[in-house]
Amino acid sequence: MLPSLKPMLATAGALPADQSGWAFELKWDGIRAVSYWNGSATRLESRNQRDITVSWPELEGFGASLGVKDAVLDGEIVALDDRGVPSFQRLQERMHIASRATAIQLSQRVPAAYFVFDVLHLDGTTTMSLPWTERRRLLEQLEVKGPCWVAPPAFVGEHAGDDTMAASTSGGFEGVVAKRLDSTYTPGLRSRHWLKIKLQKRDEFVVCGWTAGEGRRAGSIGSLALALPVEGGGWCYVGNVGTGFTNKELARLEALLRPMVVTETPYTQNVRLVKKGTVFVRPEVVVDVEYTETTDEGILRHPSYKGQRIDKSPEDVKTVRPAGG
């Protein structure tokens, strides 16, 4: 059985001009999860190798359903909205649960599914050195199909990228992932052999503080102060996000952030733009934020909070501001 590993990562990009050498998949708006089946139990690990099995009791039977002695597979845990489209916001209710009893209860109200798209190890043999086409063949032979797990389709062909992007746009999905047909699986590395093409302006940011709420939010967090890493070190202020929260999520974030409070600002760029009265925290929490555009100084316009990325650390935030910018 393979030891714990980090999943292969895609690089942000555009649809390839020549699409004949690529496979295209819809981009699922969930959390990355590598599953381990050892013949007796299924273990799920997040992108940063946290054991998250207890949070997803409906997936306990996944490994046994494969009919193999052992396996390591890569995929995405998603929660579908009423339209059948993955909703990261809905998934938030399930992501921070450490109690099996609570997780079982929540799974009835907010069911999750495991969308599997790669095979890394199978019946005692590592498959990561095989090209994508061979790994996909193995995945299809496994016939991954159960009450809450499936292997979604991948599309290959001269115009497959354009067609998949059109389907993503009309269906309200996040975008498309393109994978070279000859690509091997390189765990923990961000590769140009896998491309993620997003439809919306949505990125990951690091929380460096918060401002107090007013009105109905008086006494709690009003907005989160966001940052991007600066090339060479430091943090650039990129604005505050104050919409997209539920009261429950605000309370959870406040309990999470209060122990991280520091007296000195973590910001090294755009410091003059930081809101007065900001309570600063250690830059440890990563969040997803959707926005319309940025100003010339890099400040987000119309940002909306989508959720915390418990599967990512500040080191995983790859969008950077130039030094001195």
Stretch 53-73: mean pLDDT = 95
Q: Compute CA distances 67 → 11, 41, 259, whole Å.
A: 34, 13, 46
- Count Cβ atoms within 10 A of the Cβ of residue 74 and give its class: 0-12 exposed, 13-18 middle, 19 or more buried: buried
Predicted confidence at residue 292, as pLDDT, reads 79
What tokens does 301 get?
């316009």
Is the per-residue pLDDT at 318 higher than 80?
no
| Residue 206: closest CA among 303, 316, 127 | 316
| Residue 136: closest CA among 25, 242, 39 | 25
* Distance, CA of 235 to CA of 258 (rounded, Å): 20
In whole numbers, what is the pLDDT of the chain averaged over residues? Answer: 92
Q: Is 27 a catalytic residue?
A: yes
Enumerate the β-bridge partners of residue 223.
211
- Count Cβ atoms within 10 A of the Cβ of residue 101 and give its class: 0-12 exposed, 13-18 middle, 19 or more buried: exposed
Predicted confidence at residue 164, as pLDDT, reads 96
Q: Which of 27, 179, 306, 312 is catalytic?
A: 27
Q: What is the CATH number of domain 202-316?
A: 2.40.50.140
Is the per-residue pLDDT at 325 higher than 50?
no
pLDDT above 70 as % of the chain: 97
The string of pLDDT tens digits covering residues 89-114 is 788 888 888 899 999 999 999 999 99
Is the per-residue pLDDT at 297 higher than 70?
yes
Predicted confidence at residue 303, as pLDDT, reads 94
Look at strands 293-294 and 202-212 and give their pairing.
unpaired
Predicted confidence at residue 324, as pLDDT, reads 53
The string of pLDDT tens digits covering residues 154-200 is 999 989 999 999 999 888 888 999 999 999 999 999 999 999 998 87
Is the per-residue pLDDT at 311 higher than 50?
yes
Is the per-residue pLDDT at 117 higher than 50?
yes
Q: Which amino acid is at 228?
A: L
Q: Looking at domain 9-198, what is its CATH homologous superfamily?
A: DNA ligase/mRNA capping enzyme (3.30.470.30)
Phi and psi at residue 228, in whole multiples of 5°? -120, 150
| Residue 160: closest CA among 12, 22, 28, 11 | 22
Highest mean pLDDT among 75-84, 128-137, 306-315: 128-137
Residue spans of the domains in the chain: they are 9-198, 202-316
| Chain centre distance of CA 149 | 18
Predicted confidence at residue 213, as pLDDT, reads 85
pTM of the entire predicted model: 0.74
- Count Cβ atoms within 10 A of the Cβ of residue 253 and give its class: 0-12 exposed, 13-18 middle, 19 or more buried: buried
Do 9-198 and 202-316 have matching folds?
no
Residues 6+ apart with CB under 8 A from 32: 7, 46, 47, 74, 75, 76, 311
Predicted confidence at residue 218, as pLDDT, reads 76
Stretch 48-57: mean pLDDT = 94
Is the per-residue pLDDT at 115 higher than 60?
yes
The string of pLDDT tens digits covering residues 139-153 is 999 999 999 999 999
What tokens does 119 get?
């095979």
The string of pLDDT tens digits covering residues 203-261 is 999 999 999 988 777 778 999 999 999 988 999 999 999 999 988 899 999 999 999 99
